[in-house]
Structure 1
């Protein structure tokens, strides 16, 4: 307790004043001197006891903080007494709880990042291995037709890696909060036509029938470029599900409460056990031979949610999958 320099100074000053007052009292009358001495001793004893109790509470508080710092999972237990120390203890308890929550969030984020890096490495390894194998075959191939086929296959693998890396960079930018979405009035018909433009030739080649039913007055608010990106991922998924000679329907419902856009294909639908995890990153379902990397729908959901929208998926009673995008008014 006397390690505190201010307390030592106060004690020295108190003893000096008490000695001078006692001397003056004795000079006036022995009884006055005795009274001053007894009063000074009583006041000193009370102050000593009070100060010692405060220092014990401070030492206990310091011990609790030390346990929290050096023992993971240790809780900070504050007392319910009133006073300045109790207020300080309560504030420290709040701070410790906040730090523990942040540490837990950082730990979860660290584990998620490690899992994501492992998934990314796995996803990149697949086309890289295939490309290396194709290049080895290309090296030993003799026929011109075979060489061209192997070159086309190698080009497809590198295009897959380019798409995967581009999508992962977009997800990273969205997670880091770097992307600033524009909030503008978007015509739904124009938005759907923009999203469909890259698929016009593939749909024609695969003979996929398309039907679009969108009211002329339907609008929503958001970033047109990113919304088109999200829809293209849905369209890509629907086209792969529909296959050759399939069909795709796009409809829009515009109400005073929300604007909803639905995409329906006539494919095999979605496995019931896959529905809860369909928008999870790198999730590809039980069929490991399925096309894709489990990135597109996760990117789509991130884009829509960040702009205040929602996306759901279900199976249609008459067959096929239905994706619904909804933006509240």
Structure 2
């Protein structure tokens, strides 16, 4: 205890006060001096015993904290019968549990990052291998038409890789929480028209019928740019699924509880085993196209959920797949 500076200062102050009290008592009379000395001694012994017990309890807490820090299986600190120390132990236990939870979350994040890097490397390796093969064939080809076809295919592969890297960058920004969504009033017709704009030529080339059932004046809250990105990823999936001479239906329902945007295609729908994992990153379903990376729907769900909305996907009763985005009011 004497190693504690505050305790040493208190002991010196107590000794001075005791000496003064005893001297004053003896100055009055002998009995008063003896009584002062005995009272001071009794108080000093009681204080010493009480303080020693508290130091013992604190030392036990310190030992238990050391065990918690160096033993992964130990999480709790034994409760004390004393009020203040019991509160302190309870707070330390809460802090320990919080630190363990954060460490566990960090460990899972590291594992997820490692898995993501492996998936990214795998996803990029496939088109890069194809590009390398095409360049080898291009080097040895003398036919002008073949060379043009291979150059065109190479450009398409680079476009795919650019889309993949751009999508992964957007996902990483969303995961890091550095994206700040605007909270503007958005007309649903404006949202759908903007998202459809980049697909108008493919829709015409593949003779896809587009049916839009969208009442006027429906307003939702959110970020137009990011929500348009989410809708485009759904449309891209539906276009690939519908194929030539297919059909895409976009409808909107508005009621006092929510606003729902539904996008349906006339394709083959989803395999039963794919339904639980449709929005998982890098998951490619049974009917996924050769150019699919399993990123678009994952990015779409991240954007939608960050807006406080929900997205579901299922097989429609009349065939094909249907995506439903619901914005609560």
The question of whether the paired residues in 2 share the 8 Å contact of 1:25 and 1:33 is answered with: yes
RMSD across aligned positions (CA):
2.2
Q: Distance in 1 between matches of 2:219 and 2:18?
A: 86
User: Shift of residue 21 of structure 1?
Assistant: 4.9
Pairing 1:247–2:247 present: yes
Q: Is the 1:78–1:93 Cα contact (8 Å) retained in structure 2? A: no
| Contact 2:61/2:77 (<8 A) preserved | no
Q: Distance in 2 between matches of 1:223 and 1:28?
A: 87
Pick which of 87-96 and 117-126 moved more.
Answer: 87-96
Distance in structure 1 (CA, Å) of the matches to 2:26 and 2:101: 64
Which residue number corresponds to residue 96 of structure 2? 96
Bigger Cα displacement from structure 2, 215-224 vs 68-77: 68-77
Question: Does the 8 A contact of 2:266 with 2:319 survive in 1?
Answer: yes
Partner of 2:145: 145
- Pairwise mapping of residues 142-291 of structure 1 onto structure 2 (< 5 A)? 142-285=142-285, 290-291=290-291
- Sort the Cα spacing of 1:206 and 1:40 in 2 relative to 1 into closer, same or farther, 3 A: same
The answer to which of 77-86 and 248-257 deviates more is 77-86
User: Distance between the aligned counterparts of 1:111 and 1:291, measured in 2?
Assistant: 27
Bigger CA drift: 177-186 or 270-279? 177-186
Render the CA deviation track for 1:250-271: whole Å, top value 9, x for unaligned.
1111112211111111111111
Shift of 1:137: 1.1
For residues 17 and 249 of structure 1, what CA distance do their matches in structure 2 show?
92
Moved more, 9-18 or 101-110: 9-18
Superposition deviation, residue 181 in structure 1: 1.6
Counterpart CA distance in 1 for 2:193 and 2:289 is 31
Paired residues in the alignment total: 329
User: What is aligned with 1:117?
Assistant: 117
* Preserved CA contact (<8 Å) 2:271 2:287: no
Q: Distance in 1 between matches of 2:206 and 2:106?
A: 47
Distance, in Å, in 1 between the alignment partners of 2:107 and 2:17 is 58
SS in structure 1 at match of 2:263: strand
Instruction: Say if 1:198 and 1:23 are closer, same or farther in 2 by CA, change over 3 A.
Output: closer
CA deviation vs aligned residue, 1:216-239 (integer Å, no higher than 9, x gap): 232222222211111110011011
Which consecutive unaligned segments of at least 5 residues does structure 2 have?
none
